[in-house]
A and B are shown apart, each in its own frame.
Chain A
Amino acid sequence: MSTLDIRIDHDVIASWVAEGARVLDLGCGDGELLRYLKDKRGASGYGVEIDVERVIAGMKNGVNVLQIDLEEGLYDFEDQSFDLVIISNALQTLHRTEKLLCEMLRVGREAVVSFPNFAYWKHRVAIMDGHMPVSDRLPFQWYDTPNVRFFTVADFEALCDKLGISVRERLVLDDAGKPVTEEHNFLGSFALYRLG
């Protein structure tokens, strides 16, 4: 994601975090979001990250980072022990999507998920041209992408429906970071959901 995208992502998530909330950030990267939520919202909690160099970056950022593989699930974490469990731009890099979504709402009272929309029109054009899409939101070649699950806004909502997860809020953004008001699955390249 570009710096702008990261800022928008973090701002939207911060607006969904109550003052002083206890949060768990899955795939927390260098801990920027947690740091931001700590500074902006007085939030506390932990980040989970698998990559050791990002774990080190998170520690440098002064946040609690736990080096745990999310494919294991969240067995370390107690039921309803967080106000909010966040997975920002990382769900598509994990195999056990269904399990993780359920686990997030077992551990947290609410969940926030953000992800790139594979059905964005420019991505569709790329496929029409015979190539896997590469864009700001999908900045990887097919042979070096960390993404292992390829899904769309429509797919994600269908899965939430199947799992009985209700969508409390949704924000779909276009390439410029502007909210999309219609044809979300076609015009939006990035989506954020507040679930509960």
Chain B
Amino acid sequence: MTTPPPATVGVETYLALNRYTVDEEHAHIVLAEHPDRSQLEQLARVCPAGLYKVDDAGNATFDYAGCLECGTCRIVAGGGAVASWRFPAPTMGVEYRFG
């Protein structure tokens, strides 16, 4: 039986290939102040950019800069773990070159 070769490339490496104009002033997605741990873990599973991270102690980090603007976290959170979700300001955010 063959096993797939180990996947070693992290998603951050791929995000670095995308073109972004990062709005340093405004985060278009804001995590809730005391997010629910299970919701955070769900966000970490569904985010195609892997931007939601939860460490063993349950501390959450989220970096909006690599956002692909898919809106999946808006669907999961339902207002729970994400305090606010909007699109980045016009001309900001990801700019797809292939799409």
Are chains A and B native binding partners rather than an unrelated pairing?
Answer: no
Interface set of A (CB-CB < 8 Å, partner B)? none
Interface set of B (CB-CB < 8 Å, partner A)? none
